[in-house]
């Protein structure tokens, strides 16, 4: 399915998941898009909690990364997981095979396709077969970036996410730490080495990044070279580790 080409991280399809909701997946997706080269497309298979005609996550990606190749497959107005939101809205669910084929078709004409999930890794998209983002990644043979919070509680959430990906044969492209505070507390700084022990660090995104004047410059300063940035993870770890 996903072929190896010159895109972000050296792959042509990259899944962006998180350890839960509100961890910064959309800002992370925009940062990855802003630093990628070539023709970049961004997919949001299911958008929930946004009314018809209102700007969703892809509108934020467009604003931040200046990407125009944006694809939202289904939308449900209730702020719920996709399977519940689809049922309560009476709207059609998104079959896994349909999502896979549409991304494969988009991959054929793009250098990089970024796919942003809904909530965490195992949130169901449909009621009956209850497929999740890990199923989509496995079907596409696509690696995934895991976006996580830096603070207290992140170690368990991140470890469970990474371990489940490994169990399902999904490659971990990197752990992307989101919303790094200006004044990190002791627990947050202690977590850095433990997160790095779980897999390669893709970067550290500062808190409030979406409001920064030059988002592209901030993205390049926040992602490691593999993802098109110039972030120096060893130096950051040495400066912040207690």
Residues taking part in catalysis: 44
Q: Are 143 and 9 in contact (CB under 8 A)?
A: yes
CB neighbour class for 84 (10 Å; exposed up to 12, middle 13-18, buried from 19): middle
Q: Are 31 and 96 in contact (CB under 8 A)?
A: no
Provide the greatest CA pair distance for the chain.
52
Length of the chain: 242
Torsion of CA 66, 70, 75, 81, to 10 degrees: -80
Q: Are 203 and 209 in contact (CB under 8 A)?
A: no
């Amino acid at each position: 399915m996903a072929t190896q080409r010159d895109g972000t991280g050296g792959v042509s399809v990259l899944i962006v998941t998180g350890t839960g909701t509100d961890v910064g997946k959309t800002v992370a997706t925009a940062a990855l898009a802003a630093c990628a080269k070539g023709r970049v497309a961004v997919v949001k298979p299911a958008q929930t909690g946004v009314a018809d005609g209102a700007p969703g996550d892809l509108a934020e990606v467009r604003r931040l990364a200046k990407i125009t190749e944006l694809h939202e497959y289904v939308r449900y107005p209730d702020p719920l997981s996709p399977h519940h939101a689809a049922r309560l809205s009476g709207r059609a669910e998104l079959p896994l095979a349909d999502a896979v084929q549409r991304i494969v078709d988009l991959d054929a004409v793009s250098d990089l396709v970024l796919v942003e999930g809904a909530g965490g890794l195992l949130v169901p998209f449909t009621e009956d077969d209850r497929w999740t983002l890990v199923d989509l990644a496995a079907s596409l043979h696509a690696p995934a970036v895991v976006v996580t919070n830096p603070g207290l509680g992140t170690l368990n959430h991140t470890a469970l996410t990474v371990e489940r990906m490994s169990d399902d044969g999904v490659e971990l492209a990197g752990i992307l730490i989101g919303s790094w505070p200006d004044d990190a507390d002791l627990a947050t700084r202690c977590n850095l080495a433990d997160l790095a022990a779980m897999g390669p660090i893709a970067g550290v995104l500062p808190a409030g990044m979406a409001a920064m004047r030059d988002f592209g410059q901030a993205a390049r300063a926040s992602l490691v070279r593999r993802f098109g940035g110039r972030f120096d993870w060893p130096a950051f770890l040495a400066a912040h580790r207690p």
